[in-house]
Amino acid sequence: MTSFKTLDDLEDGQRVLVRLDLNSPVEDGEVQDNRRFDRHAETVRELAERDFRVVLMAHQGRPGRDTFVSLEQHAEILGDHVGRDVAFVDDTFGDRAISAINDLEGGEILLLENTRMCDEELPEEDPETKAETEFVRALAPAFDAYVNDAYSAAHRSHASLVGFPLALPAYAGRVMETEYEANTAIAERAFDGEVTMVVGGTKATDVIDVMTALEDKVDTFLLGGIAGELFLRADGVPVGRDIEGMDLFDDQWEANETTIRSLIDDYGDQIRLALDLAYEDEDDERAEIEVGDIEEKDRAFLDVGSNTVSEYAATIESSEAVFVKGALGLFEDERFADGTVGVLEAISETDCFSVVGGGDTSRAIEMYGMSEDDFGHVSIAGGAYIRALTGERLVGVEVLRE
């Protein structure tokens, strides 16, 4: 279904430059292990086992932010996942990088420094301009082939993602292949039965964009999270009060009220809203209330209620395909995880085709002891996943296809 070349098309024994997305949370300067390392390790291991000289590029954070750090720690974490040494050189494309690349033997792995430490990486420019940068012109001649595995960064027109494919024969890595296929399935595949989409999380515009793009493809949207509350408010329920320190409702309501109302008017039959909601009572316990009994906007709701979970689970059970974007509640707090965990468990127990995306939502899978193997695909992409769902083409994928 794709027209890009994959690792199956690579001739053995070459010098390959591989772009990964190891962008990770950083706490007190310490890079946190996460599933991006685990997934990319498969591509890296395969290349090393096939005796390629493997040179890796990746980014971390953005200049000016606390998360903008060296990739030295990433080399160690990735090495643990690959089961082989991953050497590191603190240079992106200068003499030290070139010399470390030239010293590699077949089967050895080297990670270059954070691509965003190179001035030419970040400005969003077209692939032709990126291919002319000194970064690409200096590094490309040291390689026979370029592999892009960084699906989750493929919406960025940065040199390491779009410049090299014009300078070298270009291939998709295993993560790129799998993510592309799963995340475009909703737009490109025809399913025999019902297609259901669970939408929640904190960003109303993401939810609106997905619903607008997919109203022809999805039979039922199950709403929750902050986005679901904004739809309930449009439906006349007095909800949408922030918990202290958060500012999630009023600006989003102002910016999106008209669109939400017209979505309800146009596609009301496809949209299911919570029947009940959960909140924290005076004893700090989870309590629930039917939506019809809410009279005033006097408290923050942090999850959908148990009747909603049962209803949503029943819809999931009779679906042929289920896609998830966004959490149904504040699942990081165990008291308010029932909605998110309930729908994920329902998906994991049926044999429907399923894709779970969005960085935060997919974290709930391991937090609550579920297994990734029980889902069709768990995406490691955030922004790129949303773009794929809404039919937007990803520039990093397009250059590989060309």
Ligand X SMILES: Nc1ncnc2c1ncn2[C@@H]1O[C@H](COP(=O)(O)OP(=O)(O)O)[C@@H](O)[C@H]1O
Ligand Y SMILES: O=C(OP(=O)(O)O)[C@H](O)COP(=O)(O)O
Give which of 132, 367, 326 is closest to 221, Cα–Cα: 326
In whole angstroms, how close is the CB of 369 to ligand Y at the nearest point? 24
By CB under 6 A, tell whether 383 contacts ligand Y: yes
Helices 225-234 and 250-267 meet at what angle, rounded to 10?
A: 70
By CB under 6 A, tell whether 173 contacts ligand Y: no
Among 127, 173, 201, 240, binds ligand X (CB under 6 A): 201
What tokens were used for 315?
A: 């819809």
CB atoms near residue 27 (< 10 Å): 10
Among 106, 107, 359, 391, binds ligand Y (CB under 6 A): 359
In whole angstroms, how close is the CB of 218 to ligand X at the nearest point? 17
**From ligand Y, ligand X, none, interface partner of 20 (C-beta below 5 to 8 A by class):** none
Q: How far are the Cα atoms of 112, 115, 172, 255 from residue 71, in angstroms, in the given order? A: 8, 9, 23, 39
Report which residue's Cβ sits closest to ligand Y: 382
Among 39, 81, 130, 156, binds ligand Y (CB under 6 A): 156
CB atoms near residue 314 (< 10 Å): 11
By CB under 6 A, tell whether 62 contacts ligand Y: yes
Region from 77-85, 151-159, 275-283, 328-336 binding ligand Y, contact rule CB under 6 A: 151-159
CB atoms near residue 246 (< 10 Å): 12
Q: Which residue has the tokens 């390790």?
A: 41
In whole angstroms, how close is the CB of 202 to ligand X at the nearest point? 4
By CB under 6 A, tell whether 302 contacts ligand X: yes
- Give the end-to-end CA distance of the chain in Å, rounded to a whole number: 14
In whole angstroms, how close is the CB of 326 to ligand X at the nearest point? 4
**From ligand X, ligand Y, none, interface partner of 330 (C-beta below 5 to 8 A by class):** ligand X
Give which of 153, 161, 107 is closest to 130, Cα–Cα: 161
What tokens were used for 151?
A: 């699906």
**From ligand Y, ligand X, none, interface partner of 356 (C-beta below 5 to 8 A by class):** none
Overall residue count recorded for the chain in this entry: 402
State the alpha helices, DSSP H only, in 223-337.
Answer: 225-234, 250-267, 306-317
By CB under 6 A, tell whether 325 contacts ligand Y: no
Residue 39 in marked binding region: no
- C-alpha to C-alpha distance for 198 and 220, rounded to whole angstroms: 8
What tokens were used for 299?
A: 């408290």
Residue 357 in marked binding region: no
Cβ nearer to ligand X, comparing 184 with 252: 252
341-380 residues in contact with ligand X (CB under 6 A) are 358-361
By CB under 6 A, tell whether 165 contacts ligand Y: no
Q: Which residue has the tokens 């929750």?
A: 224
By CB under 6 A, tell whether 127 contacts ligand X: no
Residue 74 in marked binding region: no
Encoded one letter per residue, x for contact with ligand Y by CB under 6 A and - for no contact, window 110-149 reads ----------------------------------------
Q: How far are the Cα atoms of 38, 326, 381 from residue 359, in angstroms, in the given order? A: 15, 9, 6
Query: Exposed, middle or buried by CB within 10 Å (0-12, 13-18, 19+), for 32?
Result: exposed
By CB under 6 A, tell whether 209 contacts ligand Y: no
Helix, strand, or coil (residue 75): helix
Among 16, 136, 291, 327, binds ligand X (CB under 6 A): 327
Q: Which residues bind ligand X (CB under 6 A)?
A: 200-203, 225-226, 301-302, 326-327, 329-332, 358-361, 382
Q: What residues form the annotated binding site for (2R)-3-phosphoglycerate?
A: 36, 116, 156
Q: Which residues bind ligand Y (CB under 6 A)?
A: 21, 23, 62, 152-153, 156, 359, 381-383
